[in-house]
Structures are given as structure tokens and as C-alpha cells.
């Protein structure tokens, strides 16, 4: 990889800023000063320092975002604000995209990454990575609805859902439920409750795999997912 590309990818500096940094003599490769932007390096083996500090190589990044209402989980949209618009300018230099979709009015855990293979593995229908949601309902949930979720229900258009878990975090309040899905059909939770004669009034994704959304993240905020946390997803 070219040295200027490596520095720009890993630090968020623009190519122009990297050129200036190199010109000023701020960069060493394996202990020797390096000024050429097109110097080829092996990011896995070569040690690059900028201003005396090692530039660590992260081939991919993984971000956990708490999506607010009103933002679409797409990479771009002609009219709507997207999850990528919520990133700080210094976090926009990688080609991040959301791994999976939440509706515009759904809040909670969206995973952004530039690792296409990882995203594919989370989304692949055959993998059945569980996704957990907190669901506010217009009407108290009935036992018949709980049973229909666990049996695997048929939606109004004939689509058949895999069995899903529906539980009550507070048994005193049957209008708040937790649902775990192992697939992701269009508007699935809304349509499942619709098929039970109920209506979703709020929906938040709280977990992907076994990794919960960080409770300290305000809506619209995000943080990097730690390496060891990735193992909780797949
Ligand atoms: N089910 C829905 O209906 N909407 C979402 O955003 C996610 C799951």
C-alpha cells in the first residue's frame, strides 16, 4: 500500500495534509525518515511513526451507533439524513456503510463498518444472527400473540416467519415487550404485531448477537466496537 494512502486511511488526514506532513519530515518507516508519498509499505509488517508516535494499522473498523428517529440507515439518500451524516468529519475518511437496516422511525443499535465480509456474515439469512428489540405497543400483548410468535407466524401477505421469542421485561406492563428475531424481513416486527391485531408505537434495537447497545450512547452518538466485543456478535 502507498504510504500516503496508509497514513490518510489510518489517521483521517486528507491526502494533502499527509503530503505536507511527509514534506516536513514528520514520518519514519522502520526507523528511517521517509518523504515520498508513493513509498510502498506492508501495513502488517512495517512500523510507521508520525511525530514520533506509531500509526497503528486497523484494516477495518466497526462502529456501534444509537440511531435516532428520523434518520435512515442507508449510505446515501437524496432527501433524508442518513446514519453516515451523523459521523464526525474526522470519521468519514473510511468507506463505512450500515450493516443492515432499521426503519426511519426505529431507534437503537446500527453497526457501521467497512468490512464487507463481516457485514455479509451478520446479514446472511443462513447465519440467523439474533437481533433483539424493545417494542412499545398500542395494546397489551395477548398470550395468543406470544404463542403465535414462538410458533412462527404467517404474515398478511403469506410470508412465513421463523419462530421468534416474545417476552415481557416487566410482567406488570404488557405494552412493553422484548422480541428476538433471527431474520430481517421488511418492517417485520410491525407486521408481526399487525398480524396479531396490535400496533407498534415505538421500536428500538437493543442487541446484535450477544452484544448489547452501550447504554452510555445517547441517541445519535456512536463509538468504536472493541475487538473482543466483535466476538459477541458472530
Ligand atoms: N422490524 C421493523 O418493523 N422495523 C425495524 O426497523 C426492525 C424490525
What topology is assigned to 3-54 in CATH? 3.10.290
Q: Name the residue among 129, 185, 140, 186 with its Cα closest to residue 166.
A: 140
The active-site residue, picked from 46, 77, 91, 103, is 103
- For the ranges 89-93, 162-166, 188-192, 218-222, which has the lowest average pLDDT? 89-93
What topology is assigned to 131-208 in CATH? Alpha-Beta Plaits (3.30.70)
- Residues 20-45 pLDDT 10s: 999 999 999 999 999 999 999 999 99
- Residues 104-140 pLDDT 10s: 999 999 999 999 999 999 998 888 999 999 999 999 9
Q: Which three cell numbers stand for residue 95?
A: 468507506
What string of DSSP letters covers 68-105? Answer: PTT-BSSS--SSS-BGGGGS-GGG-SS--EESS---TT
Query: Is the CB–ligand 1 distance for residue 102 below 6 Å?
Result: yes
Q: Are both 3-54 and 62-125+214-230 of the same fold?
A: no
Q: Which three cell numbers stand for residue 168?
A: 415481557
Residue nearest (by alpha carbon) to ligand 1 atom 2: 187
CATH class (in words) of the domain with range 62-125+214-230 = alpha beta
Q: Name the residue among 210, 156, 166, 147 with its Cα closest to residue 187.
A: 156
**Residue 125 CB neighbours (<10 A):** 10
Is the model's pLDDT at 90 over the cut of 90? no
Mutate to test the pocket of ligand 1, among 103, 108, 184, 204 (most ligand atoms within 8 A of CB): 103
Tell me the whole-structure pTM to 2 decimals. 0.93
Instruction: Delimit the domains of the chain by residue range.
Output: 3-54, 62-125+214-230, 131-208
Amino acid at each position: 500500500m502507498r504510504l500516503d494512502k496508509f497514513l490518510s486511511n489510518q489517521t483521517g488526514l486528507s491526502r494533502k495534509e499527509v503530503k505536507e506532513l511527509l514534506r516536513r519530515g514528520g514520518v519514519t518507516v522502520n526507523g528511517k525518515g521517509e518523504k515520498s508519498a508513493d513509498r510502498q509499505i506492508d501495513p502488517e509488517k512495517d512500523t510507521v511513526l508520525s511525530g514520533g508516535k506509531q500509526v497503528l494499522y486497523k484494516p477495518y473498523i466497526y462502529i456501534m451507533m444509537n440511531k435516532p428517529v428520523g434518520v435512515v440507515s442507508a449510505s446515501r439518500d437524496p432527501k433524508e439524513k442518513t446514519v453516515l451524516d451523523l459521523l464526525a468529519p474526522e470519521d468519514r475518511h473510511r468507506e463505512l456503510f450500515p450493516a443492515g437496516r432499521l426503519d426511519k422511525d426505529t431507534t437503537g443499535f446500527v453497526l457501521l463498518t467497512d468490512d464487507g465480509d463481516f457485514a455479509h456474515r451478520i446479514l446472511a439469512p443462513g447465519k440467523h444472527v439474533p437481533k433483539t428489540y424493545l417494542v412499545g405497543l398500542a395494546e397489551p400483548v395477548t398470550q395468543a400473540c406470544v404463542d403465535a410468535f414462538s410458533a412462527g407466524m404467517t404474515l398478511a401477505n403469506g410470508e412465513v416467519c421463523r419462530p421468534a421469542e416474545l417476552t415481557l421485561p416487566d410482567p406488570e406492563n404488557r405494552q412493553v415487550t422484548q422480541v428476538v428475531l433471527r431474520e430481517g424481513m421488511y418492517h417485520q416486527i410491525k407486521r408481526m404485531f399487525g398480524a396479531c391485531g396490535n400496533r407498534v408505537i415505538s421500536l428500538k434495537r437493543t442487541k446484535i448477537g450477544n452484544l448489547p447497545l452501550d447504554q452510555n450512547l445517547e441517541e445519535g452518538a456512536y463509538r468504536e466496537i472493541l475487538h473482543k466485543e466483535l466476538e459477541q456478535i458472530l
